[in-house]
Every structure is written in structure tokens, then in C-alpha cells.
Structure 1
């Protein structure tokens, strides 16, 4: 009745890589403040193109790798939860966050580069700012997490 843990993904008739993040240029709008999808006329709001990629980026960065069962077979999201609140040197933590986020985002074939990381401290929060270049056009996507 339920699929086993060895899920196979088929894209365009080809068996997909287990580590592939399935992104086809579309995504549903998700409100991270309410923790739910956004609906209009009873249906989830569908995003396409660059707006869908922005939504995918935010979801990817907010998803802790391997934590959710739905993503257990995918290399999806950065693994930075063990760095948050650690006693490790701040420069090391920043470098690891940058590496993890960059690796997670570059798994998406629509993303060509992740650059210009900077960090801000707001109380006990470390906020990462970065630029994502994509295949959609020359316009860069500014991301604040």
C-alpha cells in the first residue's frame, strides 16, 4: 500500500538521480509565517519561472537535510541545525553555513551560482544574505534568511 524507502523518480522517461531535487520551474506559494500554503478560490496558488525558483530557494534553505521523511531519500536542504547555538568559532560557523547553503542550492539545475554571502547578527539570530544567479535571466535573486 505504501511505497518502500527505495523511491525511484522518473523525469522525462529517465530514472532520476536519487540526489536530484525535483524542480520543474513550478512551485506552490507557501506562507512561512502561517506555516501553510496560500490558497485562492479554494486552490493553492501556483508560481512559475523565477517566482517559483524564489519559493524553492526559501523552502530549500529552511528545510533541514534528512529531517523530514518526505525528503529522506533526497539531498535536499542544508544541514546547519547542529551549527545553530554551537560554541564553535563564529567564522567557522559562517563558513560552514555558506558551504552547506551553496551545496544545497546548486543541486537545482536552474541555479548557476551562489555568491556574495554576508552575515548580520540580530540579537541571538545570525542572518545570512546571499545572491543567487539563475538560468532565467541576468537578474540576481537577493535572499535573506
Structure 2
């Protein structure tokens, strides 16, 4: 006795890639500030937004900022890097921590080819990001 409800077609202006990866603003990690052009923040979406998310989560110390207090956001990489521990142990823990942090993202299937190298006081992380839809990209993070 209930009337049939016609199927409604909803159209949005959001591209599928934006829905999957989200939006963000371009961030200059060397300067430690957002990139501003013509007085405005530069919006990014898709894979570029995911790359910024990766950098942010790896460079954010877990439990350091009150805003992330009740979340699992961030890593303990800086704690590992600064310790006088055996190199093999540190590298193993760095790899575990990186994979655990990044593979929480719903669009990241897994991290592969993770390499850790040193250049003086800097630590360079290089890895392949494998997405659930089959795409991949190379990422580098310097501490």
C-alpha cells in the first residue's frame, strides 16, 4: 500500500578521486608552512593530497599535540631516530612504524620497497605506496 518512490539520481560536484583521497592544502615541509599564492592557500586533491597526508602523519609525533590526543595519528619515528640503539633494531622499528601508520589510510593497500639511508645527520626514507585501486607512486621523506 505504500507508494513506490522513484529512484533519485544525485549529482555532486565532487570528483571520484577527491572522495577517495580527500582534499588538502599544499604544504612546504622544508619551510614548515603552507604555500600561499595570490594571498590564498593552494588547494590540492587526489594523489597530491595523499602525498601531503603521508608527510604530515610521518612528521607528526604521536601524542605530542592535544588535537590528536584521542586518535592514533602520528608516529614515534623521532623517538627511534634520536636513540643510541643498534642500527638494525632502529631500522626494523622504523619500517614497522611507517607501515603501521600509513596502511591505516583506506586507499593504501600496502607500503613496499622501504629503504632507509643516512646522509650525515639526515635520515632518508624511500618507499613505494601501493593503492587499493592498483596505482603506485614513489615517496621520499627526509628527517
Report if TM-score (shorter chain) is over 0.5.
yes
Match of 1:140 in 2: 137
Q: Is the 8 A contact 2:51 2:139 kept in 1?
A: no
Match of 2:61 in 1: 64
TM-score of the aligned structures, taking structure 2 as reference length:
0.77
Match of 2:114 in 1: 117
Q: Is the 8 A contact 1:28 1:44 kept in 2?
A: yes
Match of 2:11 in 1: none
Secondary structure in structure 1 of the residue aligned to 2:90: helix
Higher share of residues assigned helix? 2
- CA RMSD, 1 decimal: 1.8
Structure 1 residue 78: Cα displacement: 1.3
TM-score of the aligned structures, taking structure 1 as reference length:
0.76
Q: Is the 8 A contact 1:29 1:45 kept in 2?
A: yes
For structure 2, list consecutive stretches of 5 or more residues without a partner in the other structure.
1-19
**2:78 aligned with 1:91:** no
Q: Report the structure number with the largest CA radius of gyration.
A: 2
Q: Is the 8 A contact 2:114 2:128 kept in 1?
A: yes
For structure 1, list consecutive stretches of 5 or more residues without a partner in the other structure.
1-22
**2:83 aligned with 1:82:** no
Structure 1 residue 106: Cα displacement: 0.9
List structure 1 runs of 4+ shifted beyond 3 angstroms: none
In the superposition, relative to structure 1, how do residues 26 and 74 fare at CA in structure 2: closer, same or farther (>3 Å)?
same
Q: Deviations over 1:95-136 (max 9, x none)?
A: 101111111111111111111111111112222211111245
Structure 1 residue 137: Cα displacement: 4.7
**More relative contact order, 1 or 2 (CA 8 Å, 6+ apart):** 1
Distance across 1 between alignment mates of 2:80 and 2:100: 16
